Amino acid sequence: MTRTYLVRGMIVGLIAGLFAFLFAKVVGERWVGQAIAFESAQDKAAGMTGGHELVSRTVQNTVGLGTGVLVFGVTIGGLFGLICAIAQGRVGRLGVRGTALLIASLGFVSVCLVPFLKYPPNPPAIGNPDTIGHRTALYFIMIAASILLTVLCVALARRLSAHHDAWFSVLVALGVFVVVASAFLIVLPGVNEVPKDFPAVTLYRFRLASLGINLVIWTTLGLGFGWLTQRQLTAARRTAQAGDVRGAMSV
């Protein structure tokens, strides 16, 4: 089952990557272009002449963007499938579709939303190249802490459910998550390298589009994986029932 879930997750992840690529092209690319235009105008005003791009913008926003999003979708889809295989039957009375949606929701919150609240993405024209290592380290620390907190809160909810009803267990675990996640957001150092004169609308729209790309990926994973898995289980059940009928008729 694990291998089947892995392959199915990668297939759905590929589809999710395609949807995310289309979303990025339609919604996000405009704001990236405006950010780069701002950087070019700043360089021109400062008397700086930009060097030749190693990779053209056309390649960056087609082949480069598509490859990056698809690889991310396939990778996260494979991991998603493995987690669904492990979680199946261990999250109360949820079926395969409910389990897939729950894991997708937890994944979006822990991997995307919480880190986004502390370290929202910036357009490529923003940021000091000398601090990219420091910024990347902080971002991955936030992701790791958020994922670990999510796993611990899920374990807490399961433990509480042995002695209390499901609503109480979930609400307590959710409360713990909010409190501890808020502490992470406060304690970890902030990063602000956005120029004061950078257009606020461009920054806001870019960040919203980035969050939307992740939402498209995780929503597709949750819905698509659950639908495919339920369809396969239904087909297997019908095949088994047909076999039982043929066996009974042959007796």
| 207 Cα distance to chain centroid | 14
Task: Give every CB contact of residue 8 below 8 A, 6+ residues apart in sequence.
Answer: 81, 225, 228, 229
Rounded Cα gap, residues 135 and 139, in angstroms: 6
pLDDT at 185 over 80: yes
C-alpha torsion angle, residues 207, 211, 216, 218 (rounded to 10): 160
Average the pLDDT over 121-134 and give the result: 78
pLDDT, residue 49, reads 52
Residue 187 in this model has a pLDDT that exceeds 80: yes
> Is the torsion defined by CA of 184, 185, 186, 187 positive or negative?
positive
pLDDT tier, 52 (very low <50, low <70, confident <90, very high otherwise): very low
Residue 188 has pLDDT above 70, yes or no: yes
Would you kindly state where each structural domain of the chain is located, as residue ranges? 2-46+55-128+200-250
Burial of 220 (0-12, 13-18, 19+ CB in 10 A): buried
Match 């969050």 to its residue by tokens: 211
Cβ neighbours of residue 207 closer than 8 Å, sequence gap 6 or more = 116, 120, 121, 122
Mean pLDDT of 62-84: 85
State the average pLDDT for the chain. Answer: 83
CA distance 175 to 112: 19
Using the predicted structure, report yes or no on whether residue 214 has a pLDDT greater than 90. yes
Rounded percentage of the chain residues whose pLDDT exceeds 90: 46
Cβ within 8 Å of residue 110, ≥6 positions away: 143, 146, 147, 149, 150
pTM: 0.83
Asked whether residue 121 carries a pLDDT value surpassing 90, the answer given is no
Exposure class string for 1-32: b at 16+ Cβ within 10 A, else e: eeeebbebbbbbbebbbbbbbebbeebbbebb
Higher pLDDT, 179 or 90: 179
Distance CA 15, CA 217 (A): 9
Confidence of residue 238 (pLDDT cuts 50, 70, 90): confident
